[in-house]
Structure 1
Amino acid sequence: MRVLHVITGLGVGGAELQLPTILSRTRHHADVLSLYNPGPVADRLAAAGIGVRDLGMRRNTELSALPRLTRLIAAGRYDVVHAHLYRAQVYGRAAARLARIPVIVSTEHSIGETHLERRRMTAGVRALYLASERCGQVTVAVSETVRDRLVRWGVPARRITVIPNAVDLDRSRYDPVARTRLRTELAVPPGTVVLGMLGRLDPVKRVDLALRAIAPLLTEGRLFLVVGDGPELARLRALAAELGVADRVRFTGERHDVGPLLSAMDVFLTASEQETFGLSALEALAAGLPVRYTTCPALVGLDVPQARPVPGTEEGLRAELAAVLDAPPTDRRPVETIAARYGVAAVANRIDTLYERLAAPPRT
C-alpha cells in the first residue's frame, strides 16, 4: 500500500518525532508531506530514505493550499492518507476526500481540556475540526484520555480507535558511557545527583512550578537539568536567578540526543498541567529512571512501581522529590511493561493493520 502522512510541520515535537519512529517499522511504502516548516525531523526522515515534501504554506487561512494539496495527493496515487495535527487534519482530510483517496485516517496527538496544540478550543476551531473529521473514516486517539476528550468534543465514539504512541526503546536505553560523556559536556561534577525534565518549554508544562518546588532541595551535590526550548526559556532562566539557584540549573536548549540525556539523569520529573499521552515519562522509564509525574495518561491502569503520581502543588512536589532524591540509586534496567505495550514494532503493526482493515472490501 502507498501511504501519505500529512503533518503541519516537522520541527522537533512529540507528534513529529513519532513519524520517523513508526515509519522505521511500517510494512507499507510511506511518504511525508509537511504543510510548512520542514525542520530537522524532515532531515531525519530523508536520511532514512522516506520521501518528504513541503507544501510551503505561510498562514492558516491560505485556502489556495487546498487545491495544491489535492493535486499532490491525487498524483501520488495513494491508498491511504494519514493526517497529523490540527492544521494538517483540516486541510489534509478535505484534500484526500477531494482526491478520492479510499482510506483517510487521522491521529489526534494533542487535544487537552482547554487547548488544542496551544490554541484555544473555540467554537470555530471545533467546527472546523468536526467538519474535516467527517471526511475520513477513523480518528486514532493516542490514549483513552484523548478518546474521551474527542467524544466530549463531538467525534462519534464508533469513529475512534485507540493506538498509543510508540516508545523507541533503543533511543532511550541507558548507556553508562554516554552518561559520563554528557555529564562532562554539561559540567556536572562527579557524584552529582541530577533531576531532569525534558520537553517543550510551554506554560502548560509548568517547569516554573517544578523549579520553585525543587530550588530549596538543590543543596551541594544536586543539579536540575532542563532539556528543551520554547517561549518560557527566558522567564525560567530569570526565575532560577531570582531563586538563587542559577548555578545549579542547566538549561540545555533544544537537543535530540534523548538517550544520553536520560542516561545523564538520576530522577525524572514531569509537572504538566495536562497531557494527552506522556511520551517523555515513558522514555524515562525505558531508560530505567524513577519517574514522578503530575499527569500521564499512558500510565493509567499500569502497575509501574518506578513511576509515581505526585501532587501538582509546590509543597506536594517538593515533598515527593525530597523523598526520591534521598532514596538509594536505582537499577537502570528498562521497565518491561513499557516495552510490551509501547514498543515500536507492536504499535507500527497496529497502525498498518488498521489501514489494511479499512482498505479491505466489505464482506458480502
Structure 2
Amino acid sequence: MRLVVFLSHTASRTGAPLILLHLLRAARTRFDCRLVLGEDGPLGSSFRAAVPTLVLPAHHDDGPDARPRKTLLAWLDRASLVYANSAFSHDLLKGVSLKCPLLSHVHELEMGLANRTVRVPCAGEQRFIAVSEAVRSNLIHQHAISPQAVTVSYGFAPPASGEPGPGVESLALAGTGRRPHIVGSIGTLWPYKGPDLFVALCQQVLADLGADPATPRFVWVGGAHEGPEWQKLSALIRDAGISGSIRLIPEVADVRPFLRQFDVFVSTAREDPFPLVVLEAAREGKPIVTFDSGGAVEFVGSTAGVVVHRYDIPQMSRQVTALLRDPGRRARYGAVAMARVRSRFGAEAGVARLVQLIDDLM
C-alpha cells in the first residue's frame, strides 16, 4: 500500500482535527497511513487507535532524544504523499526537503494565516484543499496561489455517535422550571471566535428589550474552564453587569444536548473559514445568525438563517430579537438548515471527496 503521511498541528476537539479523524478512518483502508501531531490533546487516543501516530515536540530538532525526528524523516522518505491538515501543520516540515507531492488542507482565513507559510518547497506538486470559497479566494488573492491549484471541499458534520447520554443539565431558570428563550454559541475562547462580541450581543439585546419579561438567556459552550481566556471573559461579563443573563459552559465531548435547547444559534466569529458547529446546529434544526466574515454565509445564504454585516452588533441584536418573537420563521429557517446539511454536507460524501483528492495527486 502507498504510504501517506498526515500532519496535524493539534489533537484538540476542534473542526480540523475532527475532520481528519474521520478521514483517517476511511483512508486507512486504501493507504498505509501515518500521523504526525504537533501536540497531543483530547482526540489523541482516537488518532492512535486509528493509525500509527507520532507526537513531535515543538522543538523537535533539539534535545537529547532525536527519535521522533528520525521517525518523521523515515516516514517522509518513503511517503507517496504528505497531507497537511491545516497551514499550521506546515511547521512540522521545517528543515525538511519533501520528495513527494504535498496536499495542504487549508482551514484558515487571513487571521489564521498571518505569518504562516502557505507554500512549502517540495519535489512534487503542492495542491490545496480550501474548506470554503472564502478560503479559496483568500489563497488566490492574498497568497498568489494559482486558481488551478485550489479545490474547494466543504467541511462536513461529524457523524453523531448515538443519542446523547442522560443527565445533561437543563438551561431552564433555576428554581422556576421556566424555560426562557436561549441564544447560544459554541466554540473555543480564542479571540477570532468572538466570545467578547457574544457578550456585546447579550448587552445589546438586553438593552433593546428593556423590561420585556421574555428576555432570553445567552449560553456559550466551549473553552478551558478557568483558563486565562475563561477568566478574561468572565471578568468582562461581571464588569458589564450581565452575569445573570449569560452562562459559560466548559468544553464538552457532545454538544448536542445544549444545541437542542437553543432557540437561535449565533456565530459572532470575527473570522471563521467554515465552522463545523454551524453544521451541527443545522443538523439539530436551529436557525443560524452569523456575520458575513467567513465561510458560514456560504451555508446559511438567505434561507437557513440571517447574515449580518460583519461586527454590526446592533443589527445582529435586531435580527436575533425578531427571530425570538417569530417561532414560525425560526422553524422555517431551521427546517431548511436541517435539510441542507443532510443533503449536501454529510460525512460519508465529504470523506470520499478527500480520499479521492489524495488518490488523484499520487
- Please give the TM-score of this superposition, normalised by the length of structure 2: 0.81
**Contact 1:94/1:135 (CA < 8 Å) preserved in 2?**
no
Question: 1:45 maps to what in 2?
Answer: 47
Q: Which runs of 5+ in 2 are unaligned?
A: 207-212
Candidates 131, 144, 153, aligned match of 1:142: 131
Gap change, CA 1:21 and 1:193, over 3 Å in 2: farther
Q: How many correspondences in the alignment?
A: 338
CA distance in 2, matches of 1:78, 1:318: 51
**Contact 2:274/2:296 (CA < 8 Å) preserved in 1?**
yes
Question: 1:246 maps to what in 2?
Answer: 243
CA distance in 1, matches of 2:314, 2:61: 42
Query: How far apart are 1:134 and its partner, in Å?
Result: 7.5
Question: 2:190 maps to what in 1?
Answer: 202
Question: 1:362 maps to what in 2?
Answer: none
Q: Which moved more, 1:311-320 or 1:208-217?
A: 208-217
Gap change, CA 1:275 and 1:61, over 3 Å in 2: farther
Q: Which moved more, 1:283-292 or 1:307-316?
A: 307-316
Q: Which amino acid aligns with 2:222?
A: G
Question: 1:17 maps to what in 2?
Answer: 18
Question: 1:265 maps to what in 2?
Answer: 262
The reply on whether 1:184 has 2:185 as its aligned counterpart is no
Question: 1:86 maps to what in 2?
Answer: 87
The reply on whether 1:54 has 2:55 as its aligned counterpart is yes
CA offsets, 1:324-364, max 9 Å, x none? 122226386562222222211111111111122222xxxxx
Question: 1:31 maps to what in 2?
Answer: 34
Q: Which amino acid aligns with 1:158?
A: Q
Secondary structure of residue in 1 paired with 2:151: strand
Question: 1:316 maps to what in 2?
Answer: 315
CA distance in 1, matches of 2:196, 2:259: 20
**Contact 1:22/1:166 (CA < 8 Å) preserved in 2?**
no
**Contact 2:290/2:296 (CA < 8 Å) preserved in 1?**
no
CA offsets, 1:110-167, max 9 Å, x none? 132xx225xxx24xx4xx4324478643111111111111112122222211111121
Q: Which amino acid aligns with 2:104?
A: S
CA distance in 1, matches of 2:155, 2:296: 9
**Contact 1:15/1:84 (CA < 8 Å) preserved in 2?**
yes
CA distance in 2, matches of 1:308, 1:325: 13
Query: How far apart are 1:169 and its partner, in Å?
Result: 4.8
Question: 1:116 maps to what in 2?
Answer: 112
**Contact 1:70/1:96 (CA < 8 Å) preserved in 2?**
no
CA distance in 2, matches of 1:136, 1:66: 24
Q: Which amino acid aligns with 2:46?
A: R
CA offsets, 1:254-295, max 9 Å, x none? 222122221232210001222211222222111111110013
Alpha-carbon RMSD? 3.1
Question: 1:163 maps to what in 2?
Answer: 153
Q: Which runs of 5+ in 1 are unaligned?
A: 360-364
CA offsets, 1:157-203, max 9 Å, x none? 222111111212526x9x6x76x842338976442221111111122
**Contact 1:66/1:91 (CA < 8 Å) preserved in 2?**
no
**Contact 2:157/2:347 (CA < 8 Å) preserved in 1?**
yes
Percent identity for Structure 1 against Structure 2: 21
- Please give the TM-score of this superposition, normalised by the length of structure 1: 0.81
CA distance in 1, matches of 2:312, 2:331: 26
Question: 2:304 maps to what in 1?
Answer: 306
Question: 1:354 maps to what in 2?
Answer: 357
**Contact 1:182/1:264 (CA < 8 Å) preserved in 2?**
no
**Contact 2:87/2:107 (CA < 8 Å) preserved in 1?**
no
Q: Which amino acid aligns with 2:107?
A: H
CA distance in 2, matches of 1:264, 1:158: 43
